Structures are given as C-alpha cells and as structure tokens.
Amino acid sequence: MQIVILDGYTANPGDLSWAEIEALGPCTIFDRTADADIVSRVADAEIVLTNKTPLSADTIPRLPKVKMIGVLATGVNVVDIAAAEAGGIVVCNVPAYSTPGVAQAVFALLLELTNRTGHHDRTVHEGRWAAGEDFCYWDGDLVEVAGLTLGIVGYGQIGTAVARVGRAFGMQILANRRSGSGLIEGGGDYVDLDRLFRESDVVSLHCPLTPETKELVNAARLAQMKPTAYLINTARGGLVNEADLAAALNAGRIAGAGLDVLSVEPPPATNPLLAAKNCVITPHIAWATRAARRRLLAITAANIAAFRAGSPQNVVG
C-alpha cells in the first residue's frame, strides 16, 4: 500500500526517523502541502497521513484510492469524518501520546506567570542585578502555587495528569467533565462550570473544541473569575474568545493567561492577545517534546500495520 504524508515537518523536522512507517510500504513524505496540491499528491495513495492539512468534504471524494486516513495528532477536526465514512475510508488518530508533555507545559506556563522566570532572567542579562544595590530584587508579586485551587475543564487523560502534578505542588483540585460528579479519586471535587470559574485560582482548559465548547471562555466566564486568577489553555484556541480575554487582561480583571494555542495558527499580527498584559504565549509546542513525537510516529506505524492486517485500531467515527 502506497503511503503519502502530507505535512511531516512539524512531527518530524529531521530529529526522528520515519523508518517504522517507511517499512510498511512505499512512502512519500512532504514537509507541507497546500490545499491545491492535495489531490495530485495523493492520487495514487491508499493511505494518507495528515497533521494539519485539511481533508474536507470537497477533497475526500476526489481521492478514490484512499482507504485509510491517519491523523498525526489526537484531534481530528482537520478531517471531515462524515465524508470519509461515506467513502468507506477508515480514519485513525493517535490518542494519549502527548499527555506527559502537555501536563508539563501547563505548569511551565503557570510558573512563568507566578515566578516570572523569563522576565527576571532577561533583566539579569541586561545588567540590572550587577548594577543593583541589594543582593536580590523582583518585579511584581511572586506567587506561591501551594494551597491554590486548580480548576480543570475536561478531565480526561491530560486533565487527570495535570491534576496529579497540581497535587504534587500542594494545590486543591476542582474538575468539570460531562459525566463527572462527586469526589475525584486522588483528591478533589467534580463541580459545575460556574463554581469552577468562581472558586479556582488557576483554570486550565483540557476539553475538545466542539460547537458546545466554542468560546467557552468569554466575557461572562471571565467575569466569574477571581481578579487574582490565571487562565491556562493548552487545548484549542477556539475555546477562548480572544478579544474578551485581551480586554480582561488589559483591565486587570484576571491576573494573567498562559496560552499554547490560538484560534488561528500562526496568528495574524492583529490578534489582540499578542499585545495583552500578563499574557504568556508559546507557539503550540505542548505536544512537541521529542519523546512525545517519537510515540506519535510509533503509534501511527502501529495504526497502519493494524489496518493492513484487517483489524484497524484507534478508529475515529
């Protein structure tokens, strides 16, 4: 079976090997693929892998040889699942590969907001410490996370991992998920969103982007938060109304935000969060540790092998 990888660069810019996938059949790898080139590049392929290159309801019917679409990610919003099913195409994703890295990134963002490590490092290198009169200095409040309440929206594998790290820091846990109620194993409470936003000192988003969760964080939700609270988003940019968040940050209605995702990536220069106060932004890297990407490729290879053997795994839809 011929395999085409439409946008392999972000998953593997050259520091890993494609060998496990290449061993499964003739394989053509493109760093990136424009929408206009999808059909011609996939014309003879039976298996197509995509990370962020969209396979839409208009495109999928024009790929008559494709039998399997593998998404090099957990989220599958880049593929029109209904169109794939109508064409008899199996769609597989890669669940859970990035859980440790995303949990780590949540606290990297939070600790930057509470300790301002990057800011203080820059001031030291600019000569401020060397020119100082005292043995130390700090800008703004240094906030201790022990004893704070961590509210987790979406309590799947990543949310659970974030809670474990939070407990290790001495934080109290609140969580919200569609089917959750009562006490959380390991400590904490399932609560409704209103209580979570009101009582949390840190709100961390880990739910999928759906019509129901689109712009879940908006002016009304932000108004529920404590003025000392932080918002962390390592899930999907569309969960947040970015204009509302920028306004809340600039007005001091919340203390800060740490974001690894934005609604449009890469963002236009006009995105209001790029100039917002106390807003730490990283370029969608929470998933991208080398260990996580190695797991991503290994699970993708296993997905292809299982499909070829007639027992597809990690099937979406």
List the beta bridge partners of residue 257: 231, 279
Residues 105 and 86 in one domain: no
For residue 317, being part of any structural domain is answered with no
For residue 257, being part of any structural domain is answered with yes
Where residue 35 sits, what CATH number does that domain have?
A: 3.40.50.720
Q: Which residues of 164-185 are buried (b: 16+ CB within 10 A; e: fewer)?
A: ebbeeeebbbbbbbeeeeeebe
Residues 90 and 171 in one domain: no
Could you confirm whether 236 is annotated as catalytic?
Answer: yes
Exposed, middle or buried, 10 (CB in 10 Å: 0-12/13-18/19+)?
Answer: middle
Residues 259 and 304 in one domain: no
Could you confirm whether 284 is annotated as catalytic?
Answer: yes
For residue 30, being part of any structural domain is answered with yes
Rounded Cα gap, residues 49 and 66, in angstroms:
11
Question: What total of structural domains would you count in the chain?
Answer: 2
Q: Which domain holds residue 250?
A: 99-281
Ranking 14-18, 63-67, 68-72, 74-78 by mean pLDDT, the lowest is: 74-78
Which pLDDT band, with edges at 50, 70 and 90, does 179 fall under? confident
Residues 91 and 111 in one domain: no
Residues 71 and 214 in one domain: no
Residues 117 and 256 in one domain: yes
Residues 6+ apart with CB under 8 A from 155: 163, 175, 176, 177, 180, 184, 190, 206
List the beta bridge partners of residue 29: 5
Ranking 29-43, 95-109, 166-180, 283-297 by mean pLDDT, the lowest is: 166-180
Residues 240 and 112 in one domain: yes
Choose the catalytic residue: 236, 242, 293, 295: 236
Tell whether the torsion through CA atoms of 234, 191, 151 and 262 is positive or negative.
positive
For residue 244, being part of any structural domain is answered with yes
Residues 107 and 226 in one domain: yes
Residues 179 and 261 in one domain: yes
pLDDT above 70: residue 8: yes
For residue 313, being part of any structural domain is answered with no
29-43 residue pLDDT tens: 999 999 999 999 999
More confident residue, 93 or 184: 93
The predicted structure's pLDDT at residue 180: 66
* Torsion angle of the four alpha carbons 255, 136, 281, 94, in this order, in degrees rounded to the nearest 10: -110
Residues 11 and 73 in one domain: yes
pLDDT averaged over every residue in the chain: 97
pTM of the model: 0.93
Which pLDDT band, with edges at 50, 70 and 90, does 252 fall under? very high
For residue 315, being part of any structural domain is answered with no
**202-205 and 172-176 strand pairing:** unpaired
SS in 3 state form for the chain?
Answer: CCEEECCCCCCCCCCCCCHHHHCCCCEEECCCCCHHHHHHHHCCCCEEEECCCCECCCCHHHCCCCCEEEECCCCCCCECHHHHHHCCCEEECCCCCCHHHHHHHHHHHHHHHHHCHHHHHHHHHCCCCCCCCCCCCCCCCCCCCCCCEEEEECCCHHHHHHHHHHHHCCCEEEEECCCCCEECCCCCEECCHHHHHHHCCEEEECCCCCCCCCCCECHHHHHHCCCCCEEEECCCHHHECHHHHHHHHHCCCCCEEEECCCCCCCCCCCCHHHHCCCEEECCCCCCCCHHHHHHHHHHHHHHHHHHHCCCCCCECC
Task: Give yes or no for a contact between 129 and 67, defined as CB atoms under 8 angstroms apart.
Answer: no
Which amino acid makes up residue 131?
A
Residues 82 and 144 in one domain: no
Residues 6+ apart with CB under 8 A from 210: none
Residues 128 and 22 in one domain: no
Rounded Cα gap, residues 12 and 10, in angstroms:
6
Rg (CA), the chain: 22
Choose the catalytic residue: 119, 284, 294, 308: 284
